Each structure stands twice: as structure tokens, then as C-alpha cells.
């Protein structure tokens, strides 16, 4: 089978992890295009209107932007929309919105919320992303005080909880919604599960992930979703 499309992405972007998990679950052949973070705004096929990753380009060159709409599009095109179909659309829509609102905001605090974690994260990101020679070094050293001092510290202070407590609360709230089942979607994961899974998985390349690993129902769910990926 030929490639279904191209995913323009950054390795460390949580929104890209959402789409990647879905592609792996559905076992869809595709190309990954890791963009240079410094050049993304100019080089993305959706630029200049949309300057964010992920961007999905279908095999017929149609361009799709924004992670949740991309997931819906891929499910529709390659899976008869089965992961989005439900008897309770109100519950699904409410929780998709909840996941996109709350989990998306919780990744920065855990990765950059203290000076030490920010340093560890930016060093790792500079190795994982396709930076140029200069920007790689610049990001590794100038990135962490910016991420920590300007962005993360404010968010942690505003929330009032430690980043670990914030994640444990989110995982409690999410898994409590399963009504005793293994997934939000019931016996098998649906698109809401894959969206949440993407945010959680985006933390997995970093040492701070261990703070999530001691949430047992959260990890039962995470590992159960992971087990459905065909990679």
C-alpha cells in the first residue's frame, strides 16, 4: 500500500503525538516530515495562514490543519469514522473539549515547571528536533530560562498545584469517567482516548514521566491504549 499522506511535525509537540498515535493504531502508512522548529513558520505547506504543527497532507495534496480535526479526518477517510461514532455525542464532545483544554495546558508545567526540569527538557528537545547547527546550541542553552522563567513558572503559579498533582488530578478525572470500563470509549479506545493518550505520551521521552507513572489507573489506561498500536 502506498503512503496515505505526510505528517509535518515536531517530535516534541504534544499535538503531533495525538495524530501519531492514531496513525499507529490504524496502521496507516505515512511519511513523517520533521520540520526545523526555527523554520516551521515559513516551510509548512499550510503557511502563511496556519503556522503550527501538526499539518497533514493527504496523498492527493489536500492540506489539513489542527490536531483534533486532523484526527477526525483520518478516522473518516481510513476507518469509516468508527472512532468518532458514538451513541452519546454530547458526552464525547464535552470530553474531547476537556482533554484539549486541560491536558494540553498541563504538559508545559511538568516539562519546564522547575529550573532543573526545564534544563533537562530543553537539552533533550535540542537533540530530538531537527534544529540547524547554531540554533540547536542556542536552544539548548537559551531555551530553558525562557521556557521556565517566562512561560512555565507563570502557569504553575496560576494553577497553584504542583505539576505532578495537576496531572494526577487530570488522570483521576479522566479515568473516573470510564464507568468501570477500560477506556473512555468503553471496551476499546475512541478518538477521545487517542487525544488524551497523545498528550500523556508526549511526556514519555522525558524523565518527568516517572511522576505520571505512579498514577495506577492512569497507567493501566495508558498501557492499554499503547497495546492497541501496531508498531
Binding footprint of ligand GSH on the chain (CB under 6 A): 10, 13, 15, 51-54, 66-67
- Closer residue to ligand GSH, CB minimum distance, 8 or 92: 8
CB of 174 to ligand GSH, least distance (A): 18
Write the CA distances from 173 to 116, 168, 215, integer angstroms: 28, 9, 12
- Closer residue to ligand GSH, CB minimum distance, 53 or 212: 53
Comparing CA positions, the residue from 161, 135, 117 lying closest to residue 40 is 135
CB of 167 to ligand GSH, least distance (A): 18
Looking at the DSSP assignment, which residues form a beta bridge with residue 7?
Answer: 32, 56
- Closer residue to ligand GSH, CB minimum distance, 11 or 221: 11
- Closer residue to ligand GSH, CB minimum distance, 54 or 113: 54
Taking phi over 0 as left and psi of -120 to 50 as alpha, with beta for the rest, 93 belongs to alpha
CB of 8 to ligand GSH, least distance (A): 10
- Closer residue to ligand GSH, CB minimum distance, 37 or 185: 37
Burial class (CB in 10 A: 0-12, 13-18, 19+), 151: middle
CB of 53 to ligand GSH, least distance (A): 4
Distance CA 25, CA 197 (A): 12
- Closer residue to ligand GSH, CB minimum distance, 10 or 83: 10
CB of 13 to ligand GSH, least distance (A): 3
Distance CA 197, CA 118 (A): 22
Q: Are 213 and 182 in contact (CB under 8 A)?
A: no
CB of 128 to ligand GSH, least distance (A): 13
Within 13 Å and on the Cβ side, how many CA atoms surround 134?
Answer: 1
Sign of CA dihedral 151, 10, 210, 135: negative
Amino acid at each position: 500500500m502506498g503512503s496515505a499522506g505526510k505528517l509535518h511535525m515536531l517530535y516534541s509537540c504534544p499535538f503531533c503525538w495525538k495524530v501519531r498515535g492514531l496513525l499507529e493504531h490504524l496502521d496507516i502508512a505515512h511519511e513523517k516530515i520533521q520540520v526545523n522548529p526555527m523554520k516551521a513558520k515559513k516551510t509548512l505547506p499550510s503557511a502563511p495562514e496556519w503556522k503550527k504543527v501538526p499539518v497533514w497532507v493527504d496523498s492527493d495534496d489536500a492540506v489539513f490543519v489542527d490536531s483534533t480535526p486532523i484526527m477526525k479526518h483520518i478516522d473518516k477517510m481510513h476507518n469509516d469514522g468508527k472512532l468518532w461514532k458514538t451513541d452519546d455525542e454530547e458526552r464525547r464532545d464535552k470530553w474531547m473539549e476537556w482533554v484539549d483544554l486541560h491536558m494540553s495546558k498541563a504538559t508545559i508545567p511538568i516539562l519546564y515547571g522547575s529550573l532543573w526540569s526545564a534544563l533537562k527538557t530543553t537539552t533533550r528537545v535540542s537533540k530530538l528536533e531537527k534544529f540547524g547547527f547554531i540554533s540547536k546550541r542556542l536552544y539548548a542553552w537559551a531555551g530553558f530560562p525562557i521556557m521556565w522563567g517566562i512561560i512555565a513558572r507563570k502557569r504553575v503559579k496560576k494553577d497553584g498545584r504542583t505539576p505532578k498533582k495537576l496531572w494526577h488530578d487530570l488522570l483521576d478525572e479522566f479515568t473516573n469517567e470510564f464507568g468501570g470500563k477500560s477506556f473512555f470509549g468503553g471496551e476499546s479506545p475512541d478518538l477521545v482516548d487517542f487525544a488524551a493518550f497523545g498528550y500523556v505520551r508526549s511526556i514519555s521521552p522525558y524523565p518527568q514521566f516517572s511522576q505520571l507513572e505512579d498514577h495506577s489507573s492512569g497507567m493501566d489506561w495508558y498501557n492499554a491504549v499503547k497495546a492497541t498500536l501496531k508498531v
